[in-house]
Amino acid sequence: MARRADFLAANAGKRAPMPGFVLLMRRRDDGSPAMRMGFTVTKKVGNSVIRNRLKRRLRALARELLPVSGVAGADHVLIGRSGGIERDYAAMRSELTKALAKVVR
């Protein structure tokens, strides 16, 4: 996802807040089974080095878990939180699994 309108539309979908991130998921209903991903981290989290590091962690988590647990034909947005950079990767992985199960329901 690259357009701001896509991120704003995903904000109207289901939301699963976790300690390190917030997962937003919205079904597109456009007939396409493609699963789109978006990542964002606000400036409140830290400087550009910290924000980019957190985005890399979120991308790695999404690459690992979304093909298995994601919703086909939906937009998934991960919003990084300030606690996400210090959190253990395994903890974030289990949180993303829990968040995906929550938004699928």
Give the 3-state secondary structure of residue 86.
coil
User: What are the domain boundaries of the chain?
Assistant: 4-104
Question: pTM of this prediction?
Answer: 0.89
Whether the per-residue pLDDT at 5 is higher than 80: the answer is: yes
Instruction: Measure Cα distances from 65 to 8, 76, 84, 101 in Å.
Output: 23, 12, 17, 11
CA distance 58 to 62: 6
pLDDT of res. 15: 93
The pLDDT mean for the chain works out to: 90
Pairwise pLDDT comparison (37 vs 8), residue with the higher score: 37
Q: Which two tokens stand for residue 40?
A: 């964002």
Sign of CA dihedral 4, 14, 22, 91: negative
Give the 3-state secondary structure of residue 77.
strand
Q: How confident is the model at residue 21 (pLDDT cuts 50, 70, 90)?
A: very high
CA distance 11 to 7: 6
Q: How confident is the model at residue 9 (pLDDT cuts 50, 70, 90)?
A: confident
Domain at 4-104, CATH class = alpha beta
pLDDT of res. 48: 95
Exposure string over 45-72, b if 16+ CB within 10 A, otherwise e: bbeeeebebbbebbeebbeebbeeebbe
Q: How confident is the model at residue 80 (pLDDT cuts 50, 70, 90)?
A: very high
